[in-house]
């Protein structure tokens, strides 16, 4: 049977790009997100374009019960998950600590940290029982360097960085690879979500340079997922050529 990849946050951006790339290469794909209609449309696209086998898993990664119920209810022929991509995540707002919206903080912490943990806790034992698997965690350049007003989002991505290092130790005895990918600025729905639907403000983030795309990240994940069995890319920072890190960028040439 072809290999199976489980992608959280596949209804847009990196997750949708990863689903398309792996489906095009013959993988069976499980796509998660909260927006059922987006996932249904993606399923149709993957089936029509690549004759892919697709399973739609609609749940909110923050909802521990829903995560466990959905994964426990996977049909027998979808239970051999070779690759998990913990991608679902978001930034909500951009402000100082003293002005921050505590509901936004809860959303980011619950999604980016706790959601990643719930999904990993549910799926990793299935990989351990088979003695193989590959877990990808989508971190961020924000998990390597903090930047002004990034506070809580940066904190969640520093946590993803630490959890990736930690779970790599836990998975060592079981032959399971753990790869953390830390992208810089990429044009997806990320800024639209961060700025709560403000299209003009979101668009400005990507003016004056060529940002990363969902396809760039999908290519990177695909490369790391298809290396020989005896080695693993553990930690990878990827930025546009115009971005050295969170502090040094070059716009307009
Ligand atoms: P998008 O907003 O385009 O995609 C985010 C995805 O996460 C959507 O599919 C969304 O689906 C899903 N998601 C959000 N909250 C939940 C939830 N509670 N439960 C399930 N799914 C959820 O942004 P990106 O593709 O850019 O973001 C993907 C990841 O990449 C995030 O972790 C982000 O932090 C990280 N990242 C992004 C960068 C960028 O510049 N774009 C750079 C570095 C890292 P739905 O709304 O349907 O639930
Ligand atoms: C998203 C990239 O630099 O806006 O994680 O934090 S950044």
CB distance 108 to ligand 2 below 6 Å: no
Q: How far is the CA of 193 from the centre of ligand 1 (A)?
A: 9
Q: Which of 44, 51, 56, 76 is nearest to 6 (CA)?
A: 56
Select from 7, 8, 9 the residue to mutate for testing ligand 1; criterion: most ligand atoms less than 8 Å from CB.
Answer: 9
Assess whether the C-beta atom of 138 lies below 6 angstroms from ligand 2: no
Q: Is 5 in the pocket of ligand 1 (CB under 6 A)?
A: no
Residues 177-183, mean pLDDT to the nearest whole number? 98
CATH architecture for the domain at 4-238: 3-Layer(aba) Sandwich (3.40)
Strand partners, 7: 31, 85
> pTM of this prediction?
0.98
Ligand showing the shortest atom-to-Cα distance for residue 64: 1
Let me know if 65 is exposed, middle or buried by CB neighbors in 10 A (0-12, 13-18, 19+): exposed
d(C-alpha 31, C-alpha 10), whole Å:
5
Q: Which residues are CB-neighbours of 222 under 8 A, at least 6 positions away?
A: 18, 21, 22, 25
pLDDT digits (tens, 9 = 90+) for 131-174: 999 999 999 999 999 999 999 999 999 999 999 999 999 999 99
The candidate with the shortest Cα–Cα distance to 83, out of 34, 136, 143, is 136
> What is the distance between the alpha carbons of residues 131 and 122, in angstroms, rounded to a whole number?
16
- Nearest Cα residue to atom 25 of ligand 1: 13
Rounded distance from Cα 2 to ligand 1 centre (Å): 27
- Each residue of 77-90: pLDDT tens digit? 999 999 999 999 99
pLDDT one-digit tens code per residue, 47-80? 999 999 999 999 999 999 999 999 999 999 999 9
233 ligand 1 Cβ < 6 A: no
């Amino acid at each position: 049977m072809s290999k199976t990849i489980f992608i959280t946050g596949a209804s847009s951006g990196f997750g949708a790009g990863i689903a398309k790339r792996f489906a095009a290469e013959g993988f069976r794909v499980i796509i998660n997100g909260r927006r059922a209609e987006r996932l249904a449309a993606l399923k149709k696209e993957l089936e029509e374009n690549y004759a892919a086998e697709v399973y739609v898993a609609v749940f909110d990664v923050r909802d521990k019960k829903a995560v466990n119920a959905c994964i426990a209810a996977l049909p027998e022929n979808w239970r051999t998950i070779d690759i998990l991509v913990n991608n679902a995540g978001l930034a909500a707002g951009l402000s100082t600590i003293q002005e921050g919206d505590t509901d936004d903080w809860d959303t980011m912490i619950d999604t980016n940290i706790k959601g990643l943990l719930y999904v990993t806790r549910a799926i990793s034992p299935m990989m351990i029982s088979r003695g193989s698997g590959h877990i990808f965690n989508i971190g961020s350049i924000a998990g390597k360097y903090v930047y002004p007003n990034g506070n809580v989002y940066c904190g969640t991505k520093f946590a993803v960085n630490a959890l990736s290092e930690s779970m790599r130790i836990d998975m060592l005895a079981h032959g399971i690879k753990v790869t953390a990918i830390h992208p810089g600025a990429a044009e997806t729905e990320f800024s639209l979500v961060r700025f709560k639907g403000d299209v003009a403000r979101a668009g400005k983030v990507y003016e004056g340079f060529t940002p990363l795309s969902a396809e760039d990240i999908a290519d990177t994940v695909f490369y790391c997922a298809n290396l020989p069995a005896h080695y693993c890319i553990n930690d990878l920072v990827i930025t546009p050529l115009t971005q050295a890190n969170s502090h040094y960028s070059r716009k307009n040439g």
